[in-house]
């Protein structure tokens, strides 16, 4: 579904926003001059279930309407690539974890808390 949208995108590259201030996170913490970012991925991230129209952009800034789930996936991939102090916490992991506080610790590395055998950006992008 998402691969077909990407193949038919009118440009080789996809921008997720026109300006950096249009990128949001669930939590942002600042310690001195360093920033740390968290995203908590709920059911709609897993199921690609929200299809209402949203925009992504060509490198020139032209708006292209896509389903929300596609925009969300592209934003998530972009965050993984461009924010090193970034943590993704999947809902199922959080619900089953006995030490969810671990996911809230500050880290300068990309971290992802997901269940074994389930989708993860770590496996999707880096393996």
Sort 1 into a burial class: Cβ within 10 Å, 0-12 / 13-18 / 19+: exposed
| CB crowding 5-35: b at 16 or more within 10 Å, else e | beeebeeeebbbbeeeeeeebeeeeeeeeee
pLDDT one-digit tens code per residue, 75-92: 888 888 888 899 999 988
Grouping H, G, I as helix, E, B as strand and the rest as coil, residue 19 is: coil
Q: In the predicted model, what is the mean pLDDT of residues 122-126?
A: 80
**pTM for the full predicted model:** 0.80
Residue 20: pLDDT over 80? no
pLDDT one-digit tens code per residue, 33-86: 999 999 998 765 555 566 788 899 999 989 999 998 888 888 888 888 888 899
Sort 98 into a burial class: Cβ within 10 Å, 0-12 / 13-18 / 19+: exposed
Q: Comparing 122 with 113, which gets the higher pLDDT?
A: 113
């Amino acid at each position: 579904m998402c691969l077909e949208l990407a193949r038919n995108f009118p440009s080789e590259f996809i921008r997720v926003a026109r300006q950096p201030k249009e990128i949001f996170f669930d939590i942002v913490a600042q310690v001195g001059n360093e920033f740390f970012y968290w995203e908590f991925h709920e059911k709609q991230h897993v199921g690609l279930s929200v299809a209402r129209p949203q925009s992504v952009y060509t490198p020139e800034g032209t708006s292209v309407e896509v389903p929300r789930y596609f925009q969300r996936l592209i934003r998530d991939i972009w965050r993984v690539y461009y924010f090193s102090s970034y943590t993704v916490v999947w809902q199922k992991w959080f619900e089953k974890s006995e030490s969810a506080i671990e996911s809230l610790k500050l880290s300068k590395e990309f971290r992802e808390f997901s269940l074994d055998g389930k989708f993860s950006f770590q496996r999707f992008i880096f393996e």
